[in-house]
Amino acid sequence: MANLRKGVLNKIDQYLSTQKYQWEVIVVDDGSNDGSTEFVEKFASSNKEFKLITSNHCGKAAAITTGMLSAKGQFRLFTDMDQATPIEEIEKLLPFLLNNQYDIAIGSRDKIRKGAPAIRLFVSRSNIIVRKIIIGLKKISDTQCGFKLFSAEAAEKLFTIYKNLYHGFKVVNGPSVTSGFDVELLYLALKKNYKIKEVPVEWLYVESRRVSPLTDSIKGVLDLLRIRNNIIRGTYKNV
């Protein structure tokens, strides 16, 4: 709700309204109970390009998957509500898909992470090393930036695979934001031979009560071990 009150929807609308292409914004409400639903409903009622989807609290992976599979565009971006990476940065990603050289373009904060506390920088860089050891994806520096653009074909294929892997999504309690989703998604993309371009983007650290460096790091490693176990067991072999 705090991000909504800061006017992120207005900022997104103001930017996209200046573009020559058709666009839509899908906001997926992951079972919030803080008034966010009503806020977005009111905004969408007077801004026809905005659409709200409400669901039970199933976590980040479920929310993003729901939005990406509901989208209709030729290119589909998922981005964090806090707009740590401003919507304008899509201009850096789009060219790589427009010329058909790549199927996916992902934002990267690897070089500069403005405003991030030292502990967050240490944890992030440690996680990159651990991820490369356990899973690989060595050619990708930053798997976790919440700013990823897909062609429609890649989005529909990958998010359908992801949804089917888990037979839909289960209701969860408490925060459910771990590194596993992004890593697993990109692993599947490479397995399907989609071409991925990592693009440096502007990013500003935004404090969140949902983030706990120690707890999230432990969950992240456990997620990586789960993915590694899936690879060994052949879970992704026939997807």
- Paired sense of beta strands 50-55 and 25-30, if any: parallel
For residue 143, give the 3-state DSSP assignment. coil
Residue with the bigger pLDDT between 166 and 88: it is 88
Q: Dihedral (C-alpha) 13, 18, 22, 28: value to the nearest 10 degrees?
A: -20
Residue 209 predicted with pLDDT over 60? no
Q: Residue 93 in contact with residue 107, Cβ under 8 Å?
A: yes
Q: What is the share, in percent, of the chain residues with pLDDT greater than 70?
A: 92
Rounded distance between C-alpha atoms, residue 232 and residue 239, angstroms: 15
**Alpha-helical regions (H) of the chain:** 2-5, 8-16, 36-45, 60-70, 90-98, 118-134, 152-165, 180-191, 213-233
Which has more pLDDT, 74 or 208? 74
**Which residues are paired to 26 by β-bridges?**
51
pLDDT for residue 195: 98
Domain extents for the chain?
2-233
Q: Is the Cα torsion angle 120, 27, 227, 149 positive or negative in sign?
A: negative
Biggest CA–CA distance in the chain, Å, is 50
**pLDDT number for residue 201:** 96
CATH topology of domain 2-233: Spore Coat Polysaccharide Biosynthesis Protein SpsA; Chain A (3.90.550)
Average pLDDT over residues 144-170: 94
User: Would you state the pLDDT for residue 211?
Assistant: 59
Report d(CA 110, CA 198) in Å as an integer: 10
Do 94 and 128 form a contact (C-beta atoms < 8 A)? no
Q: Among 21-25, 64-68, 98-102, 213-217, which is the least confidently predicted range?
A: 213-217
Q: What is residue 115's predicted lDDT score, i.e. its pLDDT?
A: 66
Range with the poorest average pLDDT among 73-87, 103-117, 132-146, 192-206: 103-117
The 10s digit of each residue's pLDDT in 77-135 is 999 999 999 999 999 999 999 999 999 999 998 656 666 777 777 777 888 999 999 99
d(CA 114, CA 209): 19
Residue 176 has pLDDT above 80, yes or no: no
Residue 56: count other Cβ atoms within 10 Å of its Cβ.
11
DSSP 60-113: HHHHHHHHHHH--SSEEEEE-TT-SS-GGGHHHHHHHHHTTS-SEEEEE-SS--
